[in-house]
Amino acid sequence: MNEKFANLGFYPADILLPRGADMEKWAVVACDQFTSEPAYWERVENTVGGAPSTLRLILPEAELKAPDVERRIEKINASMDDYLARGVFETLRDSLVYVERGQSDGKLRHGLIGMIDLDAYDFTPGSGALIRATEGTVLERIPPRAKVRRNAALELPHVMLLIDDPDKTVIEPLSTQSGGMEKLYDFDLMENGGHIRGFRLSDAQTDAVARALAGLCTAEAMEKKYGVSDVAPLLFAVGDGNHSLATAKACWEEQRGKNPLARYALVEVVNNHDDALQFEPIHRVLFGVEPKDLLAAFRAFYPGAYEGKGEGHAIEVVYEGYSGFWTVPDPKVQLAVGTLQAFLDEYLKTHGGEVDYIHGDDVTRELGAKPGNMGFLLPAMGKEQLFKTVMADGVLPRKTFSMGHAQDKRYYIEARRIR
């Protein structure tokens, strides 16, 4: 293991890539996307057919509650073992991979793939760990995800970590050096996912990354960015895949002392200051509710709330035959998502119903307008608020933001052995 990374919680990894696969069929989008759109996953299934694909190695979260989920997990684990036995993969030893992702909006996002030490990560609010959650972790969401990972031979990452690198010292220098790197892949992603290219870093480039990361967590860097120098440094903040990383942590705690491979998790690192990175709101759709009763309860929960768009937290509401805004004046929390989530948690606990977290305005309005449903559309959070808020307040409300549109999420390409 590269000792230059010893105090950073992030390391080069033994990364697995497929040999000679049809990469457009190999790569599929993160499993936590399109959870209320089964037609999306049906199209992916038709595209992949019988070709080797990460679709056979992951469980779309839309299927987490399927009656035969245990059988599906067993089939995934068997596919992993089969791919390993058949030599589907080649191994890039002790490597970092630089990624250029052409998004659906035409912008180019830059990333760096390596592995983190799960002992350097903590999702507890207020933690002083080098790697921290940005949103509240729902502990009940971990056990069903742990069933997928617990006996898996491989992990495939959709976790994206953010670094606060305003001077662009870590990842951006690689963009001018890719011409001299070993190109690993270069292809279009299915379902309007854009384009992606991957390059293997040289030893010298890897060492330069270690030096630059170390520079981000010095006392001087903390003072410059946050006005404090006597606090535990925050180097990585979880941008996407919070519950997947929490699941990896939980599985490592189960296997501590038995399986050293489980101590690490493969991730992509992105600079919070990347020009292509945009924070999109994550909306809410409720199922099995009576809209007028819910709004009456909302008004009782927030006595000053009124219909219409005004000063305070204005939230767009959609249900069958209705589209408008409701405003909570003089809110007690910083973000509208916190105002809404506090009410929804209480309402669903006492009245029943289900909630899904949706990326995209149009999909939220479409689903929310169906009988028995309600959609709530939230404003976007400025990404400049992220690190300062985590440093000051611990975590944001869960499902506060999404890094870009659903089709621009990570696609599974790389893998790593965890057993």
Assigned token pair, 161: 């970590």
Question: Is the domain of 37 the same as that of 160?
Answer: yes
At 185 the pLDDT is: 98
pLDDT score, position 384: 81
137 plus 19 within the same structural domain = yes
Q: Based on the structure, what is the number of domains in the chain?
A: 2
Angle, CA of 284, 285 and 290, to the nearest 5°: 125
My answer on whether 273 and 284 are in the same domain is: no
Q: What is the pLDDT of residue 411?
A: 97
337 and 369 belong to one structural domain: yes
Q: What is the pLDDT along the chain (419 residues), one digit of tens a residue?
A: 788 898 999 999 999 999 999 999 999 999 999 988 889 999 999 999 999 999 999 999 888 888 999 999 999 999 999 999 999 999 999 999 999 999 989 999 999 999 999 999 999 888 889 999 988 788 888 998 999 999 999 999 999 999 999 999 999 999 999 888 999 999 999 999 999 999 999 999 999 999 999 999 999 998 988 888 788 899 999 999 999 999 999 999 999 999 999 999 999 999 999 999 988 899 999 999 999 999 999 999 999 999 999 999 999 999 999 999 999 999 988 789 989 999 999 999 999 999 999 988 999 999 999 999 999 999 988 888 788 878 877 778 778 888 878 899 999 999 999 99
**Does residue 290 share a domain with residue 260?**
no
Co-location of 235 and 326 in the same domain:
no
Residue 11: both structure tokens together: 């390391």
Asked whether residue 268 falls in the same domain as residue 412, the answer is yes
For tokens 């611990």, what's the residue? Answer: 394
Contact 209, 105 (CB under 8 A): no
For residue 94, CA distances in Å to 88, 162, 200, 210, 351 come to 19, 22, 10, 14, 52
Whether residues 65 and 137 fall in one domain: yes
Is there a single domain that holds both residue 256 and residue 345? no
Clarify whether residues 80 and 98 are in a common domain: yes
Cβ–Cβ under 8 Å, residues 411 and 196: yes
Q: What angle do CA 94, 97, 101 make, to 5 degrees?
A: 165
Count the residues in the chain.
419
Which among 232, 257, 345, 265 is positioned nearest to 298, based on CA atoms? 345
Q: Round to whole Å and give the CA distance between 76 and 64.
A: 13
Which pLDDT belongs to residue 64?
85
| CATH code of residue 339 | 3.30.1760
Same domain? For 245 and 300 the reply is no
Same domain (yes/no): 223, 139? yes
Structural domain of 316: 279-402
